[in-house]
Chain A
Amino acid sequence: MKASRIFWVGTIIFQVASVALFALSLHSIISTLTGIQSEEAIRISAEMEESTGDFKFLLEANPKNQGFLGIHLLLDIAIYDAQNNLLSRNSTSVYLDPGKSQHFSLTLIIPKEDLLQDSQQEMRGSFELTFDIKTLGDLVGFRNNMRIMEA
């Protein structure tokens, strides 16, 4: 067999493997992303703790990896005041095997002192949610950062 023929076969195998990896990575990212954005996957609640007066913000997530490759998922939440000063931030990351889901929660506590003292004034600030999905040994990724002003 000619050297060029052997090289051609090797190149075709490499190209097919590359396309397959691209399709698998894209599928893993898209399926996890659509899963995260469903109502059941992420629940956000906020409440004032009566005993301390602190503001407690809870994010509960139950993401499922519906793809064929394992994924690393990082979730980060932050709250800023009206002057864009960071009040509180928390993040966590999980590794999800294909087809598996994992429950986790993130809590943000804004101390009573950081809350506006004037009860007549509406509390204003912004909320930031970031999720970072990495797959294929963290070589391929998708990062979404959403910031809601005056939340």
Chain B
Amino acid sequence: MNSKIKALISALATFLSFAVIPYVIIMLIPREIVAYLSKTNMDFIVFQNEIILIGAILSVLSFFKNFFDEASIGYLAASTSSNAAWLIYIFIFLGLGNLQRLGMLDLSIEFENGVNMATIDFRFFIYLSIISIVLKIIHTVLKFREAVIEKEKLSLTGQAASL
């Protein structure tokens, strides 16, 4: 398949899976739950906008990752940036729209005669996602190095054949 078409399909699939579908899922949450959660320190609109924005960034980076040759610096840059964007996506997702929370969510809601405070601790998954992204970056570097070596070998074989 042509690399441009492959890159375009990959970008569209990324945008659909990680921007459009999560956006629609958030929109489908019953109004009562949204109204209840809106009374806490959580902002649904910001969460939705961040998801669509980071989803768009991921799809653009996915396009360039698949567009560039694996032995090019462009591929290495796009792929590494894509991995970093993934980490931000996970941080946003686990922080329900707040990047700085880093998996530690504090939600408080006041009612007529009192206050209800909830704390959700997802820090362990933040650590797991950091490890996962580091592994993905190492994989990208290994893939890039192998592609460069492969390209050099092909070029040497070509030179030898022409001699």
Partners in one complex: yes
List residues of A whose CB falls within 8 A of some B CB.
2-4, 7-8, 10-11, 14-15, 18, 21-22, 126, 136, 139-151
Residues of B within 8 A of A148 (CB): 113-114
> Which residue of B has the minimal Cβ distance to A10?
B135
Residues of B within 8 A of A8 (CB): 139, 143
Which bracket fits the contact residues of B? 20 to 34
Leading 7 A-B pairs by shortest Cβ distance: A4-B142, A139-B124, A148-B114, A141-B121, A4-B143, A143-B119, A11-B135
Is B117 in contact with A144, judged by CB distance below 8 angstroms? yes
A-contacting 9-mer, from B3-11, B16-24, B60-68, B125-133: B125-133
Contact partner, A136, options B117, B124, B139, Cβ 8 Å: B124
Is B135 in contact with A7, judged by CB distance below 8 angstroms? yes
Residues of A within 8 A of B146 (CB): 2-4
List residues of B whose CB falls within 8 A of some A CB.
113-122, 124-125, 128-129, 131-132, 135-136, 138-139, 142-143, 146
* A7-B139, A140-B124 known; A149+B116 contact, CB < 8 A: no
Is A142 in contact with B121, judged by CB distance below 8 angstroms? yes
> CA of A136 to CA of B139 in the docked complex: distance in angstroms?
28
Q: Main secondary structure on chain A at its contact with chain B?
A: mixed
Residues of B within 8 A of A146 (CB): 114-117
Minimum CB–CB distance from A55 to chain B (whole Å) comes to 20
> CA of A15 to CA of B87 in the docked complex: distance in angstroms?
13
- 19 of the cross-chain contacts (CB-CB < 8 Å) are A4-B139, A7-B135, A10-B135, A14-B132, A15-B132, A18-B129, A136-B124, A141-B120, A142-B119, A142-B120, A142-B121, A144-B117, A145-B116, A146-B116, A147-B116, A148-B113, A148-B114, A150-B113, A151-B113
